[in-house]
A and B are shown apart, each in its own frame.
Chain A
Amino acid sequence: EIVLTQSPATLSLSPGERATLSCGAGQSLRRHFLAWYQQKPGLAPRLLIYDVSSRATGIPDRFSGSGSGTDFTLTISRLEPEDFAVYYCQQYDSSPLTFGGGTKVEIK
Chain B
Amino acid sequence: QVQLVHSGAEVKKPGASVKVSCKAFGYTFTGYYVHWVRQAPGQGLEWMGWINPNSGDTNYAQKFQGRFTMTRDTSISTAYMELSSLRSDDTGVYYCARVPCLTTNCSPENWFDPWGQGTLVTVSS
* Interface of A toward B, CB cutoff 8 Å: 33, 35, 37, 43-47, 50-51, 56, 88, 90, 92, 94-102
Please give me the residue from chain A that is nearest to B96 by CB atom.
Answer: A44
Contact indicator A45/B109 (Cβ below 8 Å):
no
Q: Which chain B residues lie closer than 8 Å to A37 at the CB level?
A: 45, 112
Total count of chain B residues near the partner, CB < 8 A: 22
Contact indicator B59/A95 (Cβ below 8 Å):
yes
Q: Which chain B residues lie closer than 8 Å to A45 at the CB level?
A: 45, 95, 112, 115
Contact indicator A92/B109 (Cβ below 8 Å):
yes
Contact indicator B116/A44 (Cβ below 8 Å):
yes
Contact indicator A96/B47 (Cβ below 8 Å):
yes
Residue among B44, B62, B100, B118 making CB contact with A88, cutoff 8 Å: B44
Contact indicator A56/B113 (Cβ below 8 Å):
yes
What is the CA–CA distance of A45 and B117 in the complex, to the nearest angstrom? 9
18 more CB-based (< 8 A) A-B contacts, given A47-B114, A50-B100: A33-B109, A35-B112, A37-B45, A43-B117, A45-B95, A47-B112, A90-B45, A90-B111, A90-B112, A92-B110, A96-B47, A96-B62, A97-B35, A97-B109, A98-B47, A100-B44, A101-B44, A102-B44
